[in-house]
Structure 1
Amino acid sequence: MSVPEGTILPSCRLCGGPGTVWFERPRQVLRCQSCTALYASTDQRVQEFTEAYYRGGVYSDYLADEPAIRRTAAARLRRLERRVAGRTLLDVGCATGFFLEAARARAWTATGVDVSRYATDVARGRGCDALTGSIDQAVPSGRRFAVVTLWDTIEHLDDVKATLAVARELLLPGGILALSTGDAGSVFARATGAHWRLLQDPTHRVFFTEQALRRLLERVGFRVAEVSRRGKWVSTAMILHHSSIGAAAHLARWCVRARVNPMVYVNLGDVMTVISVPA
């Protein structure tokens, strides 16, 4: 895609490589010519993940999605338990603590950290050990964990590389890093182009291909042990909230109010789950 002569495009947020314009709408997204990641050219994210983000913003009503989120969490925990002996866990981007609660129910000692004061206040109110702030500032010095997780989190971060480096330092010997994020190289992402669902969230800043994510993890000292493309359980209200149908937003709110909000398993093949270990 052509740009006006003399335009200076921002370099890649991950590797500093040169970028070319990939999409102009709904916002300008560039593709790194070096690592293949996509990234937003400007910061259009919210400054803080307030209650509005979780109620009527990106989510119709995040709290109403608890059953679906916890069902996905239980499946993730079962896979982690097959890989690691320890039962200490740090969930980065813990939101309102549903994953922490699911972990605690399976005899894990789970701590969460999130930049959203609203979300961590909710999590603490539910009895979770939730810290407010970034991973490098909020986690007490000396703490170590068997597992560090970042579920649907790294696409939001200011400095993904620095966060992953800190996560590595927080792992116990034999520990693992588990994360999920969109796959910009997937068939669904490429087929939908600028309309790809993960491009629509203004708080998403980086969009990874498997190649870009592998390179980044290797640069910070990880070895990728497994890449899979698993689905997740979502509520009917969540599906409607992200639908282009005119009355969908009203229907989503009705589902929440009427408590008619069944779960649906969705796998579009456009989200990677990556398990890594220190190299």
Structure 2
Amino acid sequence: MSAKLPSLSEVGTDLLAVSRWRTRVALVRPYAMIGVFAVVAWAGWWWLTPLVVFGVFVSVVTVTHDVVHRALGLTARQTEWALFFTGLVLLESGHAYRSTHLQHHRLFPSDEDPEGYPANLSLLGAVLYGPVFLARLWWWSWRRARGDRGLRTWLLAEAAMPVAALAGGALLWPVTPALLAYAVMAIVGSWVYPLLTVYLPHHDYGDEPLTQTRTLRGRVIPAIFLELTYHLEHHLYPQIPSHRLPELARRLDPHLSAAGVRPVRVI
């Protein structure tokens, strides 16, 4: 399945363009979803909260992904704060994610790729790996940051977030269960990362870039996941922002077809 893919300039550098409005929407959307959660919790519609938290996850993962790959036009300083504040929404370390995700893009598949490790597990193994996944990514990032005082400061601050949220939620329980409920759902929800973001896209990977991950095509599912289902396209051209991946996929279709790549069709 070896094939020569077009360069970014041949695909079209117009795909890199991001308006200020688009950047603002991407950065604000996770906090808007927090607002929705607060309203739903205040109204007592607890049955709706898992669906809202799912929306929080999708919005955070999408924007953090783009921030890590410098696809939103942010300055270096803005990027550092964006990693912190987007990670804060889900009580995760944005800086640990950047360290491990860029390593994933550089080396997958490799024993030196901690993010890609679940791709080598069984389906059940990927599920069971969930509770320790983010902690192991954080620890890997901490060890790699030896001598980098600034990065370690970010990592320590981000490691404190889930502890603070759980403690604050417990203290506020007599007033409202909302904070503790949200913190628990955010933490437990992150346990699906190894399965959804690594195992399913990458398991049974091949030896070449075109066979190391998959792409899902459709209208409904990609839209729900804010285009994160275009995993192959993202790995091939990671600097292209998420919202432009459908157009990238359209332009790559002749090349992928010639190489024998068959996208997975979903609704």
Question: TM-score over 0.5 for the alignment?
Answer: no
Q: Which has the higher helix share?
A: 2
| TM norm structure 1 | 0.27
Q: Which has the higher strand share?
A: 1
| TM norm structure 2 | 0.28
More relative contact order in 1 or in 2 (CA 8 Å, sep 6+)? 2
